[in-house]
Amino acid sequence: MKIAAVLTCFNRKEKTLNCIKKLMNQRRDIDIYVCDDGSTDLTSEAIQELYPEVKIIKSTGGLFWSKGMFQAMKAAVVNNYDFYLMVNDDVDFYDSMLDIMLNSYKISSENCAIVGSTQSVISKDLTYGGSVLKTKWNINKKMLLKPNGEIQKCDFANWNCFLIDNFTVDHVGLIDNKYEHGIGDFDYSCQMKKKEIPIYIATDYVGICERNPIKNTFQDHTLSINKRLSLLLSAKGLPIKSYMRFYWKNYKLIGVPFCSWMYLKMIMLIFLKQKS
């Protein structure tokens, strides 16, 4: 069985090295592909020294997450693996992670994807994983599902830990590299749904990953209105080009008003100095 782990990184060397170490600790052989998006903290050099077998795809910067994952995934699929494991480098994986993911895939008895759930190190609360929509069109109205010992079907998958088989890659392709940073993982979930390829949540938690803090983001109501508006439209916020692309690509005309309402609501909350 051939398995490739795919990730992208930028200037968080210690987290990237720990992620690679934890991937190496899995009880199966994994080929690792890392896109380094122009790190200046010697991430690539440290990887080459400690893990010379890791395949590094270097960029001069500006790819952000979706484009970085596209480059690493593109390099991996050339070698025609049985499975591709998409990960974020800030996840501290349990040594049983890959066994849990592969066993969950086996339970499904079909071509599918498996999303691994992560939890907080202190509270043990669910932080990332698979979610179901609470309302049909609004991706901001979704609920994460907790692992319960069985596989559970979901609508969207965070790519903190996401296992797809060769069948899925053959039918869906690579992650869309037109997105400015995030939402490429949710777009991939939509593309899988169009191809009638299901996504299941793994039976148990696969690692530790804290939620991204809201400090110094557009959700930080202690910042000025102008600063929050700037962050809202930045690549790491809710860039209009990316979100309009997502809603148009996946929902066509009916998605436009929902996308527009999302921005209107966010801007109203910012002006009201409330947490959005």
Strands 126-128 and 113-119: antiparallel
Q: Which tens digits make up the pLDDT trace of 178-221?
A: 999 999 999 999 999 999 999 999 999 999 999 999 999 999 99
37: β partners = 59
Residues 6+ apart with CB under 8 A from 81: 2, 3, 4, 31, 166
Averaged pLDDT for residues 249-275: 89
d(CA 196, CA 150): 21
The confidence score (pLDDT) of residue 275 equals 60
- What predicted TM-score, i.e. pTM, was given to this entire model? 0.94
pLDDT higher than threshold 70 for residue 161 = yes
Q: Assess whether pLDDT exceeds 90 at residue 276.
A: no
Task: Specify the higher pLDDT residue, 34 or 254.
Answer: 34
What single-letter amino acid sits at 74? Answer: K
Query: How confident is residue 254, by pLDDT bands cut at 50, 70 and 90?
Result: confident
pLDDT of residue 136: 65
Looking at the chain, the whole-number percentage of residues with pLDDT higher than 90 is 91
The predicted pLDDT at position 27 comes to 85
Contact 263, 256 (CB under 8 A): no
Q: Quickly state the pLDDT bin for 224 (edges 50, 70, 90).
A: very high
What average pLDDT does the chain have? Answer: 95
pLDDT at position 138 over 70: no
Q: Which phi and psi (to 5°) does residue 94 adopt? A: -75, 150
Q: What is the pLDDT of residue 133?
A: 87
Q: What is the percentage of the chain residues whose pLDDT exceeds 70?
A: 97
98 with 29: CB under 8 angstroms?
no
The C-alpha atoms of residue 240 and residue 223 are separated, in whole angstroms, by 21
Q: Which of 194-198, 222-226, 266-270 has maximum average pLDDT?
A: 194-198
pLDDT, residue 111, reads: 97
User: What residues have CB less than 8 Å from 268, skipping those under 6 apart?
Assistant: none
pLDDT in tens, 7-25: 999 999 999 999 999 999 9
Average pLDDT over residues 219-241: 95
Question: Is residue 89's pLDDT more than 60?
Answer: yes
pLDDT of residue 139: 64
134 — pLDDT class (breaks 50, 70, 90): confident
Number of H helices, E strands in the chain: 9, 13
Q: Can you give the pLDDT at residue 162?
A: 98
